[in-house]
Structure 1
Amino acid sequence: MVTGITSTELIETAENSDTRVNVDIDNTQPAIIVCDLKKVFQKRSGLLRSHVTEEWALKGISFQVGLRETYGILGPNGSGKSTLIRVLSTLLTPDGGEVKILGYELPRDERQIRQLIGRVSVDAAFYKKLSARENLLYAARLYGIDPRVAEKRAVEILDRLRLAKRRFNDSLEEMSRGMQQKVAIARAILINPPLLLLDEPTTGLDPKSRRDVQTYLEEVRAEQGTTIVLTTHDMAEAERLCHRIGFITHGKLVAEGTADELKNIAGTDNLEEAFIKVTGEYFEKEEGE
């Protein structure tokens, strides 16, 4: 989970009206509007790597996410869901289509969009030698948040995520995967962004840590009115957290609706069976499942 850090990865935090970034938001339209989004990667092979082939990760995806909605993106590994989150996070530039986030357009308004989002990935990045406290305060500093305010909020968030206060000054490399992911989520929520982009935030966590994270995400949306986009291949998580769900496979969004609507479309009472029937794809199980 813990990898090398980049400046872009560090700018992904949020929470509390005292710390919310001061960027105007258009509340008259959906939080996210995606129309015919495309993303292609070029691969080089052969002698001197002179042969170039194109691999389309996103093939004309269109969807909308309402303000204060939690929207789930369900798909197996390699389906394009992580690429989609990275485009929405401004970490990848789209190769076609239109994207609007809280009234701002990609890629034109990347700077404003970065101030409005908190992002958590399955491979959260930190300064591993630093403590949870130091990582969070550094992220807060990037947003100009008073250190005293940031520390108070960080302690509150980690407490609600059920991370023991005695671990606050431990280095990240001494923490379990579940603890590290809780710190990543705290960092994303510390500045109270209006939009959270979560790429498999509970993958690999133990059952208790997973429940702690899910409960807190529900509380954040209810208390702060946060819009959440969540990628996962955990069916129970999708049904618990998401108002609507999109099925993605081979870079295409092939169906969307509430969990009940998707199950009705497939004629089943099981969301995973609905995904398999609609897409023809199966999910890889996590280790230990």
Structure 2
Amino acid sequence: MLILNPTQTELAIEVSDLKKVFRKREGLFGPLKEEWALKGVSFHVRKGETYALLGPNGSGKSTLIRILSTLLTPDGGTVRMLGYRLPEDEAKLRRKMGRVSVDAAFYKKLSARENLLYAAQLYGLEPRQAEKRAMQILEQLGLESRRFDDPLEEMSRGMQQKISIARALLINPPLLLLDEPTTGLDPKSRRDVQAFLEDLRARQGTTILLTTHDMAEAERLAHRIGFLAHGRLVAEGTADELKRRAGTADLEEAFIALTGEELNDEAGQP
């Protein structure tokens, strides 16, 4: 049951009038050109809720996630997460959230175990406990334990993404930011990841912010969905609410009707 007008203590994420502009020079001595990735985006995510952002390439999804992940600084607006403000409290927030991106960075010559233990050291975790937790997560994700010592470069994209999820969850964060985590995965890996995220939220009450191109994934995982287009949040609600608003029986048709845009499955930049 959705709660209207949530109080601040019920919110895990509160974004208000968020703006971000990128400036590029045309030629060596040409004028600077401004490209607005976010044009005043506002939304909130309740504690324990899964909220999905849907949008085509260039809509601002990845830019928004990078700001919330403290990798970019906004050019306007306010962000409050888990009671902390950005950018003032970014150091505290980094220890309370996990992030999984569409192209996770690893030391590809090292094994899954070595990559995860290195991440555990950065978090100040005890190695044995971190390894045990990582193995539990990977087992739930369907990764065979015998692959734990294989170099990342010998693993499929699906396996590497499962390692990325395990790394993000080493600290058992109350907030998880997922930037197209299943893009490019085979059907089985996609189902494994989706089932794990459902179980994680149900068991631990983890708040999840998800960007995706996959309509079925958004309907399966998200309590509420936001439609992004041209740097603006043009509609939000449950899947059923969005379909009713657009007068369609299909979420993709609702997206096209409400945004005038079409989704594609290629991972792109904001």
TM-score (norm 1): 0.88
Aligned with 2:88: secondary structure? coil
Cα gap change, 1:76/1:150 in structure 2, threshold over 3 Å: closer, same or farther? Answer: same
Contact 2:226 2:235 in 1 (8 A): yes
In the alignment, the residues of structure 1 paired with residue 8 and residue 19 of structure 2 have an alpha-carbon distance, to the nearest angstrom, of 26
Deviation, structure 1 residue 285? 3.7
Aligned partner of 1:75 among 51, 55, 67 = 55
Q: Could you say what secondary structure the match of 1:272 adopts?
A: helix
Q: Is 1:228–2:208 an aligned residue pair?
A: yes
Q: Partner of 1:18 in structure 2?
A: none
Indicate the residue corresponding to 2:199 in structure 1: 219
For residues 81 and 177 of structure 2, the distance between their equivalents in structure 1, rounded to whole angstroms, comes to 12
State the match for 1:242 in structure 2: 222
Aligned to 1:122: 102
Residue type of the alignment partner of 1:114: R
* Whole-Å separation in 1 of the counterparts to 2:131 and 2:29: 50
1:238-268 CA distance string (max 9 Å, x none): 0000000000000000000000000000001
User: 1: CA distance between counterparts of 2:30 and 2:206?
Assistant: 47
- Determine whether 1:101 maps to 2:81: yes
1:204 and 1:247 map into 2 onto residues whose CA distance is 21
Q: Does 1:152 align with 2:141?
A: no
Rounded Cα–Cα distance in structure 1 between residues aligned with 2:104 and 2:242: 31
Matched, 1:198 2:174: no
Shift of 1:29: 3.5
- Root-mean-square deviation (CA), in Å? 1.3
Q: Does 1:284 align with 2:229?
A: no
Give 3-state SS (helix, strand or coil) of 1:168's partner. helix
Higher mean C-alpha displacement, 203-212 vs 140-149: 140-149
Q: How many residues align?
A: 261
| Alpha-carbon contact 2:143-2:159 (below 8 Å) kept | yes
Identity of aligned residues (%): 74
Contact 2:95 2:171 in 1 (8 A): no
* Aligned equivalent of 1:38, options 19, 40, 46: 19
| Residue type of the alignment partner of 2:263 | F
Kept after mapping to 2: 8 A contact 1:198/1:229: yes
Work out whether residues 29 and 103 of structure 1, in 8 Å CA contact, stay in contact via their aligned partners in 2.
Answer: no
Letter in 2 for 1:62: S
- What is the one-letter code of the residue matched to 1:166? R
Q: Tell me what 2:3 maps to.
A: none
Q: 1:129-150 deviations in whole A, cap 9, x for unaligned?
A: 1100111111111111111101
Structure 1 residues not aligned, in runs of 5+: 1-25
Segments of structure 2 that go 5 or more residues without pairing to the other structure are: 1-6
Displacement of 1:27 in angstroms is 8.1
- Which residue pairs with 1:189 in the alignment? 169
The Cα shift of 1:113 comes to 1.0
Q: Which SS does the other structure have where 2:9 is aligned?
A: coil
Offset of residue 50 of structure 1? 3.6
2: CA distance between counterparts of 1:58 and 1:142? 32
Is residue 155–residue 165 contact of structure 1 (8 Å, CA) maintained in 2? yes
Q: Measured at CA, do residues 142 and 268 of structure 1 come closer, stay the same or move farther in structure 2, by a change above 3 Å?
A: same
CA offsets, 1:53-84, max 9 Å, x none? 11000000000000000000000111100000
The 3-state SS of whatever aligns with 2:107 is coil
Q: Tell me which of 117, 122, 125 is aligned to 1:137.
A: 117
Distance (whole Å) between structure 1 residues aligned to residue 265 and residue 109 of structure 2: 32
Q: Is the 8 A contact 1:27 1:102 kept in 2?
A: no
Distance 1:59 1:244 in 2: 21
Cα distance in 2 between the residues matched to 1:81 and 1:128: 27
Runs (4+) off by over 4 Å: none
Distance 1:27 1:217 in 2: 25
Aligned AA (2:105): A
The Cα of 1:286 is off from its aligned counterpart by 4.9
What CA distance in whole angstroms lies between the structure 1 residues aligned with 2:139 and 2:21?
41
Q: Contact 2:183–2:265 (CA<8 Å) still a contact in 1?
A: no
* Matching residue's letter, 1:34: V
| 1:276 Cα deviation from its structure 2 partner | 0.1
1:7 — aligned with what?
A: none
